[in-house]
Amino acid sequence: MPRRVCIVLLTGLGDVVHGLPIANALKDAGWHVTWVSEPMPSSILEHHPSVDTIVRYRRREGARGVLALRRELRAARRAVGGFDLAVNLNVYFKSVWPVLFSGAPHRLGFERGRARDGIWLATNDHLAPRPRAHTQDMFLEFLAHLEVPHHPPSMPRDWRIAFSPAECAAQAAFVAERSGRPLAAIVPASANAAKDWRAERWAMVADGLVERGFEVALVGGPGARETGVARAIEAAARGPITWAMGDGVRRVAWILERCALVLAPDTGPLHIARALGVPVVGLFGHTNPWRVGPYRAYEDLWIDRYTPPGTAPDPSSFDPPPDDRMALITPDDVLAKVDVAIARYGVLDVKREA
C-alpha cells in the first residue's frame, strides 16, 4: 500500500506552481498525494498526474469554511486509510487548520525562523534553519529533509501541468483563430496593485510588439481591477489587441502554452509560463525576482528595479521597498528585453501549434 501524504499549500497561484515539483517527486517515490489548496489556485492542480485528491479550503467563508474543511479532510483521510505525513509549505497561520485536521502523525513544516504566526507549533518536524531563498529552492528543502530523490526543476516535464481533452480542443480552436503571427501575451495585473505597471506604458509596449511582428493578447482572470487595467491598455494602444481576459486559471494556462512570449509583473501566470517553458519578460520593482522570479530561467529578460543599483542580488530579501520602483521601469526597458528575447530565444520564429 502506498504511503499517504497531505500537502498543505493554499495560495497564491505562483506558490502552488512551485509546489508541483514537490508533488511529482513524492508521487514518483510511491506516495499517494492529497493536496489542500484554496479554490482559485487549486485549478492548476486539476488533471495533474501527481495529485490524486484535491481538497479545497474556502478560507474566506470563515468558521463555516473551517468546518467544511474538517469534514472534507476527514473524508479524504478515511478514503485512503489515514495520512502518514503532512507537509506544510506555507508560513502563515491560515495553514494551521488543514495541518491539524490531516491527522497525520508526522507533520513537517518550516522551522521557527522562517515560519510566521506561530505555525511551527502545529508541526512536529521542521526544516533546518536557513536564510530565506527562492521559493522553489525552499520547497525543495522538504524533499531533501525527507530524503526523497529529486532535482531542481528546469523543463516543463518537471512541473507536469496537464490539460484535459476538452481543454486541448479549446486550445486548438483558439490557435486556429489567430493571425499566424507569434503570439505575445501581456498579463496586465496581479492580485496586488503595488506589483503592477501603468496601463499607458503597457499600451506603448503593445504597440512596439505589433511593430516587431507579434500578435498581442491581453491574458488574465475575470477580476474587476484586472479587467479595468486591460481595458485601459486596449483603449490607449494604437495597434490591434486580442482580448483574452475574463476566464479562470485553466484557460489562462492553455493560452500561455501556445504563446511565443509572455510579459508580466510578479503574478501567477508568470510562473505558469515558466513551468510551460515559455520565455517571460518579468517586471519587478515591488518584489524581489531573485526570490520570486521565474525559477532559474530567463534572468536575461528580467527587469529588476527591486535591487538597488550597485547592490548584489539577495534572494533572502523579501521586504517591499518604501518607494514605487515599478514606476522606474520604462517602455524602452521592456522593449529592450523583447529584443533580447527575439535575438536569444527566437520568439519571432516560434510556431506553437496545438
Q: What are the mean pLDDT values of the chain's consecutive 10-residue runs (354 residues total)?
A: 90 96 98 98 98 97 97 98 98 96 98 94 97 97 98 97 98 95 97 96 98 98 92 97 93 98 97 98 98 97 97 94 96 98 95 55
| Torsional sign, CA 207, 198, 195, 7 | negative
- Measured CA to CA in angstroms, residue 268 lies from 34, 66, 150, 221, 273 at distances of 22, 25, 24, 11, 9
Q: In what helix (H) or strand (E) does residue 345 lie, and over which residues does it extend? A: helix 331-345
- DSSP H/E element including 65: helix 63-80
Sign of CA dihedral 135, 33, 251, 38: negative
What pLDDT is stored for residue 354 in this prediction?
46
pLDDT at site 108: 98
Residue 98 has which C-alpha cell? 488543514
Closest to 238 (Cα-Cα) out of 209, 278, 274? 209
Residue 290 is which amino acid?
W
Residue for grid cell 512551485 = 18
Residue 284 pairs with which residues in a beta bridge? 304
Show Cβ contacts of residue 214 under 8 Å, excluding neighbours closer than 6 positions.
181, 182, 183, 184, 260, 261, 348
Q: Closest Cα partner for 351 from 170, 175, 217, 173?
A: 175
- 121: cell is 507549533
Domains detected in the chain? 3-158 (3.40.50.2000), 167-349 (3.40.50.2000)
The whole-number pLDDT of residue 1 equals: 55
Cross-strand partners of 306: none
Give the integer Cα–Cα distance in Å for 69 and 67: 5
Q: Report yes or no: 39 and 56 within 8 Å, Cβ to Cβ.
A: yes
Q: What is the total residue count of the chain?
A: 354
Amino acid at 312: A
